Amino acid sequence: MNNVQNRRKGPFLGIIKRMGPLHDFQTDDPRLQPICDKVLAGERLNVDDALTLYRSGDILAVGWMANAVRERMHGDKTYFNVNRHINPTNVCVAACRLCAFGRKKDAPGAYTMALEEAFETAASGYSEAVTEFHIVGGLHPDLPFQYFLDLCSGLKQRFPQVHLKAFTMVEVAYLSRRAKLSIRETLEQLKASGVDSLPGGGAEIFADRVRHIICDHKIDGDQWLETAKLAHQIGLKSNATMLYGHVENDEDRVDHLLKLRALQDETGGFQTFIPLAFHPDNTPLQHLPKTTGMLDIKQIGVSRLVLDNFPHIKSYWQMMTAKIAQISLRFGADDMDGTVIEEKIYHDAGATTPQGMRREELERLIRAAGRVPIERDTLYRPVTRTDRGVSAAGSFSFSVALRSPSAGVRHRVPQKQIDPRLVTAPVPLQPIEDVSVQSNRNGFLWRAVELANLRPAPVQDEGDIRKINVLVFHGGDGGDVSSLLLV
Ligand code: V47
């Protein structure tokens, strides 16, 4: 047993950091050996294989196989992002039994954000450079489609560098009905207003029998899949989820995974699969027990093995707890979602995890699992940050005022609009003297000013103020602010 001896020799972390399996495949469940042969040969698993994986008690063997696939695809890389959730409304016409978030319009606790409020929410608590807004909400009976278009275009205008991952297939289908547009037209208008991709929610479990019990008022599984297909066809990537741990059985889960795999074969538009553990508290299904750590880990492993055409499997720490999510990084998961900031849906359903996590803490958890943390944007492009907080691939948007438009413009204004993502070489910083802070309501501007080595001065003469937007970003890995771009 060389591996066992090896394990005893070295420091623990040194051992788990080693790439590749720590030992050969071992199982006391003989049904798993032929599945392992297929996995190692890169062959696709079938329905029976998937059912066997769910039914096997040998979680370590399932994990070994899932980890082998995960390492074949991503090595030690483990992705996370810096994101913020925005839930514009919890008013919802669907009374899904699975949900503790939705409220009827006049019920206590119902809220709907005015657009300005949503923009302020987007900006609040923004202590790190967010690269993604994750926007989902209830199916509001009165909000017009235009509200959602204005929400997205307004966010894009204020935060042009932030990716909008917005609206589940269920919301898209509902908006299309309200706007009397086809699903394709609805998606096209959302895309034109700034939506960059779609989150994976609302998929729940596709099987009708289960859907009738947990989310009777939602679109059915086929409509969810059709909406995803249309989104992919017009060039919007999406994620996919599966809600497990309620009244579904193994067959329902396998059916769900195989339907997703079939659509992915067709479109290639899914980026990430996210198994979501059901949280029963405060829902009409609160008599159901919570999922166990064993099921959560098993679910990650089976997902990785069955969804061979999905690039990523996300272990959503908010839902799994940070500890289980961390362990799942050795059972098939390669992504932990992000800093999140202000999760509501699970917390209404009794989640005890914090509503957000700092980037450093996520990185620490990933490293402690022997993996390499990679900050990504929503499309899985690596984000580079300097120790002063801003990266070439992500930047901030600020609102500042020039004390005097005529005297104040000492900035070098690039001739053409630069997409910060494209900036790889540092641009010399020009002295900027006459910028003063017009509003630091959201806390960004002070940071920008600090980063740019500017001295914020109080606004002297309101009449002389001209509002501008600036993007501040670093070029390359330099560490110094390389440009202040007026837009
Ligand atoms: O669609 C609702 C689920 C989803 C409960 O795409 C519940 O990156 C458990 O889709 N217990 C919304 N789950 C969240 C979601 C998501 C989360 C993180 C990342 C991404 C992504 C997507 O939450 C809903 C529903 O399936 N949900 N209520 C509950 N009581």
346-357 tens-digit pLDDT: 666 666 666 567
Label the pairing between strands 83-86 and 132-135: parallel
C-alpha R_g of the chain: 24
CA distances from 50 to 27, 90, 295, 307 (A): 17, 36, 14, 10
At 242, which helix (H) or strand (E)?
strand 237-244
Atom of ligand 1 nearest to the CA of 101: 28
Q: How many CB atoms lie within 10 A of CB 479?
A: 11
Contact indicator for 320, 296 with CB cutoff of 8 Å: yes
Contact indicator for 138, 89 with CB cutoff of 8 Å: yes
243 C-beta closer than 6 A to ligand 1 = yes
Distance 345 CA to ligand 1 centre (A): 7
Nearest Cα to 295, choosing from 334, 337, 331, 241? 331
Distance 278 CA to ligand 1 centre (A): 9
Handedness of CA 23, 277, 123, 165 (dihedral sign): positive
Residue 486 bridge partners (DSSP) = 470
Summarised one tens digit per residue, pLDDT across range 417-446 is: 333 332 222 233 333 333 333 333 333 333
Distance 53 CA to ligand 1 centre (A): 24
Q: What is the DSSP letter of 436?
A: E
98 C-beta closer than 6 A to ligand 1 = yes
Distance 168 CA to ligand 1 centre (A): 10
Return d(Cα 129, Cα 131) in angstroms, integer.
Answer: 6
Atom of ligand 1 nearest to the CA of 279: 11
241 C-beta closer than 6 A to ligand 1 = yes
Could you tell me the pLDDT band of residue 361, with boundaries at 50, 70 and 90?
A: confident
Reported as half-sphere exposure (CB side, CA atoms, 13 A), residue 368 has a value of 12
Contact indicator for 201, 241 with CB cutoff of 8 Å: yes
The per-residue pLDDT for 245 is 97
Distance 298 CA to ligand 1 centre (A): 19
The per-residue pLDDT for 340 is 74
Q: Where are the beta strands (DSSP E) in 255-338?
A: 270-277, 312-313, 335-338
pTM, whole model, 2 decimals? 0.78
Residue nearest to ligand 1 atom 12, measured at CA: 201
The per-residue pLDDT for 417 is 32
204 C-beta closer than 6 A to ligand 1 = yes
Nearest Cα to 306, choosing from 247, 265, 338? 265
- All domains in the chain, ordered by first residue: 4-73 (no CATH), 77-380 (3.20.20.70), 386-486 (no CATH)
CB within 8 A of 12, min separation 6: which ones?
none
Atom of ligand 1 nearest to the CA of 136: 12
Return d(Cα 206, Cα 218) in angstroms, integer.
Answer: 11
Nearest Cα to 399, choosing from 454, 437, 456, 451? 437
Distance 407 CA to ligand 1 centre (A): 52
378 C-beta closer than 6 A to ligand 1 = no
Summarised one tens digit per residue, pLDDT across range 234-280 is: 999 999 999 999 999 999 999 999 999 999 999 999 999 999 999 99
Residue nearest to ligand 1 atom 5, measured at CA: 99
Return d(Cα 371, Cα 70) in angstroms, integer.
Answer: 12
